[in-house]
Structure 1
Amino acid sequence: MYSKSHAGSCLHCACPAFVALCLILLGAVAVLTVLYISHDLKLKERLELQDQLSKNQTEHGQHDLSRNSADSRRNCFQRELSCPKKWEYHGGKCYFFSENRLNWTRSRDHCISIGGHLAIKSIEEQEFMGRLVQSKMMTDNDRFWIGLTDEQVETQWLWVDNTPLDEMIRHWLEKEPDNWTVILINPTGEDCASMGKGYPTDSDNWHDENCATLHKSVCESISPNNG
């Protein structure tokens, strides 16, 4: 049996240790509380920053849309000023996609009568005209005469302004030009160039065809603002 004095001595020794443990636990709780509050504040700041960035991006996007819309209206207005009605503006030139189905010679003369000539293509114009031709084709067989022919000398392709065809911008359909000639069907061969589909996925191929074939056409002229 322990004496009362011995028990009191043990209790006296345990109290400081218990107090120290409590203080340590309280300190730990305080530290964790501070860390939690600090983390919570940083999280709130981060969320507020993200919200602000999102708002700025939205306002910036709306500003860009507004600016693009204004640019689009201005470009449309400029095109209206640059080309006659129903003509398409591109790169300082105007293009008219005629729905009249005529042979190559009459198509050439028609373009001249409305102030232009059958289209002369450059590298820059190929993509533009291909896209427009595709949008205006009613069927896969729709084609448009362009200002290219080898009527004078076979295989020597010339534009209507007598400029030789540049090898860099040839865009013939595969195996074209072939000057397909059959007696009683196509005796004069194929000396004029058209533009249109050769296969379902292509709309900007060139074809050599009999010049008497009836096709739509693409006329071209210099924009009045660039003249």
Structure 2
Amino acid sequence: MATILTSSESYVNAEVGEYQELPIPEPKEAATEMTTTPKFGYFRVVLLGVGLLCILQGSLNIALRLALSKPSVKVETEGRSCPRGWLMFASSCYYISSQRSRKNWDESREDCLQRNADLVVINSRQEQAFLTGFTEAAWVGMTDREQEGTWLWVDGTEVDKDRLQWASGQPDGAFGGEDCGDLHTMITFIGLNDFNCSARSQWICEKRLQ
């Protein structure tokens, strides 16, 4: 469509055409996000996997305690208490060494004796369930040093293999001799285990309530 404007001095011809929309360029932010998302996708998957493993480990510890535990006779502990930093179960107190403290089996037992205690003697599945999950691995008071294959607690009593839970395939006496016992809590390896006495690990002490 053409329109002619006229004045006394001059005239102006102007053509007015139809308005045509131009394509809007894609925002730079969106393009950047599309190019960077694949770059970080792998790391997100790895972080998610680690988080799921942590949740699985925690759930496993809780499920294991529930599975092993059964209603037990309530022990009267009124007027009796454990030393600071010790845990109480039934009529015993338990000391669990810190993750930074690592000793071999003999050193661990010596530490317990200095605390007027000894390496823990596990007498039932309920007690084992209570101690399971505090550490990935910790020395307990059993050994077969006197006679290979005959496991004894530090108090001289024999380990009841049928009454307690051993880790899969244990004891196996691997690596030329594993004469000391520890308690494992790992996703695929849970229960009592025989291990080299010179290895360094955490440990669990036990003393009876006074």
TM-score for the superposition, normalised by structure 1: 0.54
Deviations 1:1-59 (A, max 9, x none): xxxxxxxxxxxxxxxxxxxxxxxxxxxxxxxxxxxxxxxxxxxxxxxxxxxxxxxxxxx
Whichever of the two has the greater Rg, that structure is 1
Identity of aligned residues (%): 32
1: CA distance, partners of 2:150 / 2:188: 29
Kept in 2: contact 1:119–1:219 (CA 8 A): yes
After superposition, the CA RMSD in angstroms is 1.9
Per the TM alignment, residue 201 of structure 1 is displaced from its structure 2 partner at its CA by 5.8
* Closer/same/farther in 2, CA of residues 218 and 191 from structure 1, 3 Å limit: same
- The structure richer in strand per residue is 2
Q: Paired residue for 2:195?
A: 209
Q: Name 1:118's counterpart in structure 2.
A: 119
Q: Identify the match of residue 193 of structure 1 among 157, 161, 181.
A: 181
Q: Which runs of 5+ in 2 are unaligned?
A: 1-76
> TM-score with structure 2 length normalisation?
0.58
Distance 1:201 1:190, change over 3 A: closer
Q: Which runs of 5+ in 1 are unaligned?
A: 1-77, 182-186
Q: CA deviation at 1:161?
A: 0.8
Give the letter aligned to residue 114 of structure 2: S
CA offsets 1:55-107 (integer angstroms, 9 cap, x no match): xxxxxxxxxxxxxxxxxxxxxxx799510000001101100001221000110
The answer as to 2:160 corresponding to 1:158 is no
Show the counterpart of 2:68.
none
What is the number of equivalent residue pairs in this alignment? 131
**Counterparts of 2:161 and 2:170, CA distance in 1:** 14
Residue 106 of structure 1 aligns to a residue whose secondary structure is helix
Amino acid at match of 2:127: E
3-state DSSP of counterpart to 1:167: coil
Residue 125 of structure 1 aligns with an amino acid whose one-letter code is E
Whether 1:89 aligns to 2:77 is no
| 4+ residue segments displaced more than 3 Å | 78-81
Give yes or no for contact 2:167–2:184 (8 Å, CA) kept in 1. Answer: no
